[in-house]
Structure 1
């Protein structure tokens, strides 16, 4: 699998917990993992999610380049996932909610023609899910 040309890179702590959440909620598969030299944190992880790549690492405040989201803070970016079938959105939102995600928008049929939902994972990152309402889109 070739890596997509654009991939979000999340700073998340604990990264090991986020990897477990993304695996359980979104069906992520680990493609790469590099532990940090301190043996306590993850320096880099690449996950394959829904045909794309999401990269993540623990926060390294000693380098001062990134931090994790603060509780209740408004986000400046979201990760968008596109699915083929509306029921996939419903299933993922239900699973993510059971795993501790805060559902911001329950699955709904949008005026723009998709099954839409939005959630915030337990680590503060926002995810947007869409699937076409027309089941013939996406080859299904």
Structure 2
């Protein structure tokens, strides 16, 4: 017998997927296509065109979207004044991925650079208030090497390894 998780996976939906609230979710879906090469899996729009449910695939992972409706307690980052969450994308070329997102309308938050943990890493914010890191692993490091590099990067104030 096929599990519900397997059935969802057959439709491109993973057992854990971010569900983004966007002021202008239909525009967000188009932005994600341009910025991150997203593929639309499903779109259910209300009579007014607002997205009641959207599902996309980005880098092989499912991302769901819904239109913000503050009266229903559904608010996106632009209404809330920011987001504490960052979507993390592992990509082949972080520099190119960040530039593609910027060209599509994202704002650069942190320029792509070599990070102490061995990745090329940068951060952009989309026009809907969601933050996206782009990361390309460039060198393998052990946990001990990363801890030592973190300590150096943080001027000796890094936390002890877990």
Root-mean-square deviation (CA, aligned residues, Å) is 1.9
Give the match for residue 115 of structure 1: 120
Give the match for residue 138 of structure 1: none
How many angstroms does 1:72 deviate by? 9.1
Give the match for residue 151 of structure 2: none
The answer to whether the 8 Å contact 2:82/2:129 transfers is no
Matched residues in 2 for 1:71 and 1:110: separation?
32
Matched residues in 2 for 1:94 and 1:16: separation?
22
Computing the radius of gyration from Cα coordinates, the structure with the larger value is: 2
Give the match for residue 76 of structure 1: 84
Within the alignment, does 1:131 sit opposite 2:136 as a pair? yes
How many residues were matched structurally? 130
Give the match's secondary structure for 1:62.
helix
Give the match for residue 23 of structure 2: 13
Give the match's secondary structure for 1:40.
coil
Give the match's secondary structure for 1:23.
helix
How many angstroms does 1:96 deviate by? 1.1
Equivalent residues in 2 for 1:1-140, closer than 5 Å: 2=9, 3-36=13-46, 38-64=47-73, 66-70=74-78, 73-83=81-91, 85=92, 88-134=93-139
Matched residues in 1 for 2:41 and 2:88: separation?
20
Matched residues in 1 for 2:102 and 2:128: separation?
13
Per the normalisation by structure 1, the TM-score is 0.85
Q: Identify the structure with bigger relative contact order (alpha carbons < 8 Å, sequence gap 6+).
A: 1
Q: Which runs of 5+ in 2 are unaligned?
A: 1-7, 141-162
Matched residues in 2 for 1:72 and 1:102: separation?
18
The answer to whether the 8 Å contact 2:112/2:121 transfers is yes
